[in-house]
Amino acid sequence: MGDGERRRVIEWQDPMITANAGKTMSGLDFLQAIFRGDIPQPPIGITLNFRGVEVEAGRVVFAGEPDESCYNPIGVVHGGYISTLLDSAMACAGQTMIPKGFGYTTLELHINFVRAVTRETGTIRAIGETLHVGKRVITAQGRLVDAHDKLYAHATTTCLVIPLEGT
């Protein structure tokens, strides 16, 4: 590698192991199993260097350490990284409220970026909490904060609850 070049090697497990396990349990039980390490973490968390750290009914927290591989052309963490963390936390908060045999998909995502994130920001946490849980629609809110609870972004989402195939 030449001057200034960096390298990152990523390894993951078959994501269908995780997806198929999710069909056999409630959303809360499924996420608890992933967070405990009983079921492999989805590859997106490995790729973007974030993991689940807290899960309870209606609330999920992911923590991540973005590095330079997540930078945009102006030298800060790309908004897509922040969006992914917040979408994951909010949607998974909704997932904790879903019974066995159902899943979800994000219908709408709205994010407000408050300040830039860099690798010097350190560990950031995306905190997702449900606002409304219906039979077909779940809404949630999220905040992205640093170790001192300084706000970097906040968001809302609407998710559609869907029956899972093969359940």
CATH code of the domain containing 137: 3.10.129.10
Residue 24, domain member (yes or no): yes
Number of folded domains that form the chain: 1
Residue 28, domain member (yes or no): yes
For 78-110, the DSSP string reads -HHHHHHHHHHHHHHHHHTTPPTTEEEEEEEEE
CB atoms within 10 A of CB 9: 4
Q: What is the pLDDT of residue 166?
A: 67
pTM of the model: 0.94
Question: Using one digit for the tens of pLDDT, what is the confidence trace for 57-106?
Answer: 999 999 999 999 999 999 999 999 999 999 999 999 999 999 999 999 99
Residue 2, domain member (yes or no): no
Residue 10, domain member (yes or no): no
- Could you list the residue range(s) of the whole structural domain that residue 118 is in? 15-163
